[in-house]
Amino acid sequence: AFFWLLSLLAASLLWFLWVQLGGPEEEAPLLPLGAAAAVLLQELCRFACFKLLKKADEGLATLSEDGQSPISLRQAAYVSGLSFGIISGLFSITNTLADSAGPGTVGIHGDSPYYFITSAFLTMALVLLHTFWGIIFFDACERRRAWGLGLVVGSHLLTSGLTFLNPWYEATLGPIFILTLCTGLWAFCTAGGSFHNVLKCLSCKQEPEGQVMLYSALQVPPEE
């Protein structure tokens, strides 16, 4: 979350400078540029987060008893993605939520009356997307697959770009949710899941665990 905030800070700084340089009339055209810069900076910070977590992971592994860190990199990827998503979602929606409690009429000036509900759905999609991107991104960095990275950045840019089509909600909500689903499936496969796993999980079968041999100083080990 801290890293996301840093990226947001950097993006805002850039935006501030651009607006100052361009003058107040120039704001609208600069918006796509500002958003794109924000997206790229977020991905950059995600990369920085990856580097930090990788280092911490190695450190924990060297310190631990059996050479394995207590937190796998996949878990770290999930947590990192989730926290990016949460802070991004909070920043997107909290002010809106606070305003929704106050007196007012939605869309009184001719805007869409569905502002709140679509904001809610978009925020949800974004939170999920950040989580999935986190998993995919970390995995791609771990295995040094540049195309994975490129796809994550590309899909983030695409999502952000699609929101520029608001309030044409059919064109934004639909594609964004389809993108969320696809990214989710991709992340699921990346994390090692498969159809098989899902079935096993659903059937709640108890796997025969490896038996632990318990020896006692006074007892004869059971015949195996």
Contact 120, 171 (CB under 8 A): no
Closest among 70, 67, 162, 73 to 121, alpha carbons compared: 162
Closest among 88, 100, 115 to 173, alpha carbons compared: 115
Q: Which amino acid is at 44?
A: L
100 belongs to the binding site for other proteins (CB under 8 A)? no
Q: What angle do CA 178, 80, 5 make, to 5 degrees?
A: 95
Looking at the Cβ atoms of 162 and 190, the one nearer to other proteins is 162
Q: Helix, strand, or coil here: 150?
A: helix
Q: Judged by CB under 8 A, which of 64, 72, 194, 197 binds other proteins?
A: 64
- Binding track over 30-59 against other proteins, x by CB under 8 A: -x--xx--xx--x-----------------
Supply the DSSP symbol for 56: H
Distance CA 57, CA 202 (A): 32
Q: Judged by CB under 8 A, which of 33, 48, 52, 63 binds other proteins?
A: 63
Looking at the Cβ atoms of 41 and 151, the one nearer to other proteins is 41
Binding site for other proteins (CB under 8 A): 1-2, 5, 8-9, 11-13, 15-16, 19, 27, 31, 34-35, 38-39, 42, 60, 63-65, 70, 87-88, 90-92, 94-96, 98, 115, 118-119, 122-123, 126, 159-160, 163-164, 166-167, 214-219
